[in-house]
Structures are given as C-alpha cells and as structure tokens.
Amino acid sequence: MKESVLHKLTILAESAKYDVSCSSSGTIRRNKAGMTGSTSGWGICHSFTEDGRCVSLLKILLTNFCLFDCAYCVNRRSNDIERVAFTPGELAELTIEFYRRNYIEGLFLSSGVIKSPDHTMEKMLRVVKDLRTIHHFNGYIHMKTIPGASQELVHQAGLYADRLSVNLEIPLEQDLKLLAPEKDHQSVYKPMHYIQQGMVQSLEERRKFRSAPRFAPAGQSTQIIVGAAKDNDKDILHLSSALYQRQSMKRVYYSGYIPVNTYDKRLPVVKDSSLKRENRLYQADWLMRFYQFNANEILDDKSPYLDLDMDPKLAWAIRHPERFPVDVNTADYATILRIPGVGVKSAKMIMVARKHGRLNLNGLKKIGVVLKRAQYFITNNELPHYTIHEATPEYVKRVLRDTPSLPSPAEQQLSFGFTD
Amino acid sequence: MSIFYYDKTFDGLLSVVFDAYKIKHFPQALLAEGDIEPMFMERVHTTVTDSGKSDRVWTALRKKLSKQALNHIHHVWQSELPEADYLIFRYIRKVIDSSHSVETHFADEDVMAMLKLAKKVSKDTMYLIEFVRFQKTTQNIFFAPVAPDYNTLPLALRHFIDRFADQHWALYDIRRGYGFYYDLQRVEQITLPDENALIDGKINPTLLAEDEQQFQTLWRNYFKAITIRERINKRQQRQHMPARFWHLLPEMQN
C-alpha cells in the first residue's frame, strides 16, 4: 500500500463521519467456498470511538470533491478544504485488509458528487463490483445512492450492495430549497422509489426462482439532519412514519445538526439541546417501530416538540392516566408494552412467565421491569393503591423526570434554603 | 451433608445427575477428588464419568428443553465459576422433575440464575467476536491473542470458521494458555510451544508480516478521523468497550 493512502484515508474518513448510519444488520450471508467473509444478520460493532459511536463498517467517501454547495455540509463546493480521491483499487484493498483483521464488518461507501450524479454512481459501483467479483467479498456493503441517480444505476447498485440509502437531510422541502438550492426532495424520493421497486421485483422473482438475484436484501435507510432548519419534532416524526410505511425503509437516522459551516448566515446558532433532541427522536422512533405507537399518539399540533425532560413513552403515559393502571397478570401484550419501565424483552417475558403462576413484584423485578417507573402504572395485589390516580400525574411527572443537571450558581443562590 | 465427587468435566456432571436419580439420593454439594471435605458429612458418592450415562441424561434433556435452553446450560458450564456446576445440577433436576417446561418460569430462582449467567457468558462471547484483532505473521497466519473473562473461545469458534474460511488463523487465550488453529480445512486445539512467540500477551514484533504495522497505523488513523470531536463521550465508549479489552486493540494504543 502506498503512503498516500494514509493521507487520503484520514481526510475522507473525516468527511464521512457525519453520516450516522453504521448498521451492518439485516442480511445473512453464510460463507461460500472460495469467498472471503460472511454477514451475520444481527450486525456486529468492532470498536467504539471517543464519542461513543459504534464502528461496524469502514465508513468512507470515495472522494470529497463536490459539485453541490449545501449549507450544512463540510464538503460543500465553496469550502476551502483539501480535496482527494481514492482509486477503486485502493479502496477495495483497504476494505479487504481491514476485514481480514476483524476490524470491520464491511464497507459503507459514500461520495461527494463529481461531474454528475450518474458519473459518481458509476465510480462507486466500480469499488463495490470489484469487491464482490474480483475479491469475492461476502461481507456487508452499504452504498449511498446519490440524489438524482438514474434508475439503471440504482438497479445495478442494489444487485451488489446489502443496503442502499438516499439521505433526505432536511425534512421540509422549503428549508431544503433554502439550504441546498441545487437539490430538491424529488431527487431523493425518486431513487428511494427505484430501490423499493427493485426490492419488490426481486422478491417476486425469487418466489418463482430461488436462484434469482437478491436486491438490497437489507433494505434501505435514510438520514434526517435535525435542527439545521425550522422543522419541529412533529414534522419529523410524521415524515418518518410515512417513510416506514414504505416496506423497504428499514431505518430513519436522526443527526442532530453539528455546526460545520458557522459562517453561513442561513444556518441557526445551535443550542446544546441538539444531542438531547436527537436522543428523544430515536426513542420516539423506537416507539413507532417496536411499541406499536403511531406518530399521532406521540406528538400532535398541541405539543409539536418532544419533552426533553422525560422519555416519550413516559410522557405519553402521564398524558393518558385513563389507560392505567394495567394488570400485568391479565392484560394483553400491546397494553403491557405501553407500561413505562417495561421494555420489549420484559413484556415478552411477562407474557410467557405468567403461565406458570401469578407474577408478583419480585418476579417482575427479576424479569427486569424498572419498578421505579412501572409502580405508578400497574396493579398487583401486593402494591399499596398508589397509582398515577392517587399520586396525580403532576406528582409522577415530578419524581420521574430526568434529574436535571446541577443548576447554575445563580439559581443555587436563589433557591438557597428552600426545597420543593 | 451429602456430597458427590466427580472429575469436574461436563460429561462428569451429567453422569452425576444419572447416578443421583439411580440411587435416589441428591447431593448438597459437588466436589472434585482432592477437595477439602466439609464437616458433618453424612453420605459420600463418587461418580465415575461415563459417556453412556451422560448421553442418556443429555437425550432426556433434549426432549424437554428448547435448543436455546440447552445452549444456556453449555454457556453456564463455560463460565467456569465455582457455583456453576451445582446450579446446572439443580436446574436439570427441576427440568426432569417437572411435567411441564420450566425454562420460561422466570420467577424461579434457579431458572433466572441460569438465564443471567448464560447471558453474561454470551455477552463475553460477543465481546470476543467484536474485539478480536488479527495480526498477520510472517507465515501468513492471522493471529489474535485474546483474554476473555469466561472460557468463551470454544463458543465463538463457529463464527470465525464461517467468516474467515479462506485464511489461516489462530486464536489464542493468553489467560488459559490454549487456543485454536484453523488451516483452511479444520480447526485444532493448540498450545504455544515457543515461549518467545508472545511477550506480555502481545505477539513478538519480529514474527509480524512486513506490512502489518502499516495496516495497524491505517486503522488507528481511521479510528481517530471518524470521531466527532464536538461530541466526545468517553463514558459511553467505556460502556460499550470495557477497558479490560483495550490492551488487545491496536486503535487504543497511541
């Protein structure tokens, strides 16, 4: 390997780090004779960076040259940064060598847009094809689809990659128009649609012929930048919900906006809350995907923002005292799933464990129910009757909200001698 | 107190179960030959490990337990904890004595203890799968020293055989002093004959392939470059990647 690769790797990894997806789950490919690698199905993290994020794939740009001038992007045309590009051969070799050492599960390939979306897609395809056909690579490949790419190239990408993604970036069209004048939502939705079509078609063919090629077997994902424009949580969750209704959309990622181009006056001054907000959005997203909530239940026009002090499930329960208390020994799965302090795993365990006899508090604790939260929302013979009704929603809200970080010195002075 | 002696092998433990049911007497402790005897011993039995006996017990368990629960028994055994064998013994008794499946009886103390320990062992196995770092040697063998808390190497083997089928590799447990070597055909258990191969649990640098250091440098650089500096959160990093693994990870060596 040439020395220059080290330099390129550093620059192109730096430029790729704001893409949050690093998942390697969703496809199972067992090793085949003469091939390198396998894909597990559940995704494996191999390391964790200092910011606490998982490293599962070699997440990298083919190049950081870019035609576009999007306000929220480090690689925008008008930024004065060093531009470099990998050759497809270099990138394929790097992937294989990292893979053989068990550093990674595979490749996440993205790129700045050079010449045209299709020209860029062709270059990226070269890397992916080389990996699969020359190196017989059987690990995971996530390929970014460039907005505006043609159907033919998206189709080819789907035949080699496990997952495809097109980033939506800015949730509302009018904001996107402002921040990335060369892009529009159509150029994103079209390739998304091609991917979906490819998947549907491939599934149909595979029903007839088992040997028919798979198309993006791990589905597609997208990313939304949160807090770079005036969007609220309700807009974002409704958008996600609509995206999940397309069968091929596996994940929507939320990326709290990190100010990379502070000089651009179109961008807001970021408040510290962006990370917290991102976290709450992920929790709300989980509620939609695993807890059978729909977007309307989590947020509506009256309250368009998620509560930063408590998780959205608890917030929902406090708004709906009439749905509680729930009897853990008789209620159905969907109802049990909505008890704060009960996760998907414990809900499933409750369902099977109660066949052996009534579950008492000790049993619930063993299963992993967080009684600190759940106690106000369940009924059980042992519990004193002190549910959300007796305690009042206001009280529950006060005791269960996240402990606020230390108040500022000024506040401490004001509240000196008083406790509430 | 009544005790059974046995040879502290898994087959031996299953033979203990067989004997206990045969003589209709159940021990309160399981000891290895040579362990210190407890006071007030009432009854002693010595079980001789017999694959005929252990097979019969395992077949009986297979009829009553799911594949997952059978795996849990294996995992708990691999924990090598002093209390693990007697826990497995109590659990198997409950399985045999009950007319219906006990494996989902999560309010039961032993069932839950089995589940919890099995989870710990499988988490440790997962850590192994995540944090193994192969280093290429001059002989083109991808070698990785590992140091799991529990004896999880045998549990992770399948994953590596499937994944790295077309390269020679070896995994070596530096804590327990044994490992496995894969030669493209099969896996065999090994111990390192050459004492100079490992220095403080690390591969002797003279045995590394010429470009090995270069790839480690590339990896280290990549690792640094993808960190978002505005979002440093070392607590979370430690949570997912406990510090006890760091000495084996090239990206954590400056």
| Structure-token pair, residue A217 | 């077997």
Count of helices and strands (H, E) across chain A: 17, 10
Q: What's the gap between Cα B141 and its chain centre?
A: 23
Low-confidence ranges of chain A (pLDDT < 50): 406-420
pLDDT of residue A384: 64
Per CB-CB distance under 8 Å, the chain A contacts of B226 are 13-14, 16-17, 49, 55, 59
Give dist(CA A212, CA A205) in Å, integer: 6
Interchain CB distance below 8 Å, A52 and B234:
yes
Strands B29-32 and B2-6: parallel
State which amino acid sits at residue B227.
T
Contact B240 A362 (CB under 8 A): no
Tell whether the torsion through CA atoms of A397, A278, A39 and A241 is positive or negative. Answer: positive
Residue ranges of the domains in chain B? 2-123, 131-252
Per-position DSSP letters for A362-417, written without gaps between them: HHHHHHT--HHHHTTTEE-TTS-S-SHHHH-HHHHHHHHSPPPPPPPHHHHHHTTT
How far does A186 lie from chain B, in Å, by closest CA? 30
B227 neighbourhood in chain A, CB within 8 Å = 17, 49-51
pLDDT at position A273 is 61
In contact, A223 and A167? CB cutoff 8 Å: yes
The closest CB to that of B166, out of A34, A59, A97, belongs to A34
Number of residue pairs across A and B with CB atoms under 8 Å?
147
Q: Are A172 and A163 in contact (CB under 8 A)?
A: no
- Cα(A52)–Cα(B254) distance, rounded to whole angstroms? 18
Kindly identify which residue of chain B lies nearest to residue A3, measuring between CA atoms: B214
Q: Which residues of A touch B239 (CB under 8 A)?
A: 52
**Residue B57 in 3-state DSSP?**
helix
Q: Quick one: average pLDDT of B24-44?
A: 86
Residue B89 CA to residue B21 CA, distance in Å, equals: 12
> A66 phi and psi, to 5 degrees?
-150, 140
Between CA B251 and CA A54, with CA A139 as vertex, the angle to 5 degrees is: 40
Best interface-test mutation with A: which of B115, B217, B222 has the largest number of A CBs within 10 A?
Answer: B222
Burial A282-295 (b: 16+ CB within 10 A, else e): ebbbbbbeebebeb
Residues of B in contact with A362 (CB under 8 A): 107
A46 at interface of B, judged by CB pairs closer than 8 A: yes
Minimal-distance CA residue of chain A relative to B144? A101
Measured between CA atoms, how close is B211 to chain A, in angstroms? Answer: 8
Instruction: Give strand pairing partners of B31.
Output: B5
B101: nearest CA partner in chain A? A356
> What was the pLDDT predicted at A419?
33
Residues B201 and B173 sit within 8 Å (Cβ to Cβ):
no
Nearest Cα neighbor of B159 from B189, B120, B187 is B187
Give the lowest-confidence range in A236-245, B74-83, B121-130, B188-197: B188-197
Chain A interface disruption, residue of B102, B163, B164, B227, most A CBs within 10 A = B163
Asked if A9 lies within 8 A of B230 by C-beta distance, the reply is: no
ipTM exceeding 0.85, yes/no: yes
Q: Give the span between the Cα atoms of B44 and B190, in whole angstroms.
A: 37
Q: What are phi and psi of A77, to 5 degrees?
A: -50, -40
Average pLDDT over residues B195-213: 87
Using the Cβ of A35 and the Cβ atoms of chain B, whether some distance falls under 8 Å is answered with: yes
Cβ contact, residue pair A46, B131, below 8 Å: yes
> What CATH code is assigned to A3-25+39-298?
3.20.20.70
Residue A273 touches chain B, beta carbons under 8 Å: no
Dig out the tokens for A94 from the structure: 């790097």
**Residues of chain A neighbouring B211 (CB-CB closer than 8 A):** 1
First to last CA, chain A: 65
Which residue ranges make up each domain of chain A?
Answer: 3-25+39-298, 312-400
Q: Give exposure, A120-151, as e/b (b: 16+ Cβ within 10 Å).
A: bbebbbbbbbbbbeebebbbbbbbbbbbbbbe
Residue A411 is predicted with a pLDDT of: 38
Q: Which residues on A lie below 8 Å from B134 (Cβ)?
A: 100-102
Going by C-alpha positions, the residue among B31, B134, B123 that lies closest to residue B78 is: B123
Q: Are B198 and B145 in contact, with CB atoms under 8 Å apart? A: yes
Rounded CA-CA distance A39/A162 in Å is 10
DSSP secondary structure string for all residues of A180-233: -TT--HHHHHHHHHHHHHHHHHHHHHHHH-TTSPP-STT-EEEEEEESSSS--H
- Please tell me if residue A2 touches chain B, with a CB cutoff of 8 Å: no
Is there a contact between A297 and A316 (Cβ–Cβ < 8 Å)? yes
Q: Write out pLDDT tens, residues B131-175.
A: 999 999 999 999 999 999 999 999 999 999 999 999 999 999 999
pLDDT number for residue B35: 84
Q: How far is A76 from chain B (nearest CA, A)?
A: 18
Q: Does residue A64 contact residue A54 with C-beta atoms inside 8 Å?
A: no
Residue of A nearest to B243 (CA): A48
Q: Which residues of B touch A279 (CB under 8 A)?
A: none
Angstroms from B93 CA to nearest CA on chain A:
17
**Segment 358-387 of chain A within 8 Å of chain B by CB:** 359-360, 362-363, 366-367
